Chains A and B, each alone.
Chain A
């Protein structure tokens, strides 16, 4: 359970930082009340999606099928995040820059149109939140701790909002790539473990194999990023 809660909290923190940048840019144009309204509507939509997703997966009936489906989605998500984090660490891809993102949003001509700005805030929070939703539902259903996972995601939102309130600007100093790298390795470890177990494989160290897989992903990911960096230099 702790692994699932930590993974959800870290994933949510990264995504909420990106969502906060969008909300901040919009709030400076149409005011905090409307921007917060758009953000809350998006959070409401995500809460409904979480309920529907959890019920849908719980009604699959067959636990092995459920484990395979959840594991496969986590593998899809984890390999994507790890690939992106390796590319950014190696210098193959630019690091995500919240300050630049914020400046680009503020330069949009339509950001002062109240309806367009509301839609930008709603879509931004919804799209960033979809990855959080996926992790909450997948890890929550499989570990039977959906509420704890959803709580971790909400706690991350509160932390990001509180930090944003104190900083009064985009949260550009969050080590986003390091968090994405760690979360990618963790999610991939969970996914690998559950997919193979669902296919009938018996892991030698039981659930401790998740830690071994996590260590392998971190070591391997760092080695691949270093190899790319050396080749680029």
Chain B
């Protein structure tokens, strides 16, 4: 069961990284610079992957 949950959601660090990136992009979508969301999410996720690589 633990393996199942970890496969779906990853560990806390993995989940928070993805949630922060998606949440940040959703916020940008509700600003006048909404078009920048298409850059914010991929760049945020790349930074997230770099962070996960170190931890």
Tell me the A residues contacting B by CB distance below 8 Å: 72-73, 75-80, 82-84, 86-87, 90, 92-93, 123, 126-127, 130-131, 134, 184, 188, 192, 195-196, 199-201, 203-204, 209, 213, 216-217, 220-221, 224-225, 228
Contacts and interface: CB of A to CB of B under 8 A. Distances in A.
B4 to A, nearest CB: 6
A228 B53 contact: yes
B15 A201 contact: no
B31 interface: no
B53 A203 contact: no
Contact of A82 (B26, B38, B49): B49
Interface residues of B, number: 29
Q: Which of A76, A93, A184, A200 has the most CB of B within 10 A?
A: A76
B54 A127 contact: no
B3 A130 contact: yes
Contacts of B45: 75, 78-79, 188, 192, 217
A223 B14 CA distance: 21
Contact of B46 (A87, A93, A130, A220): A220
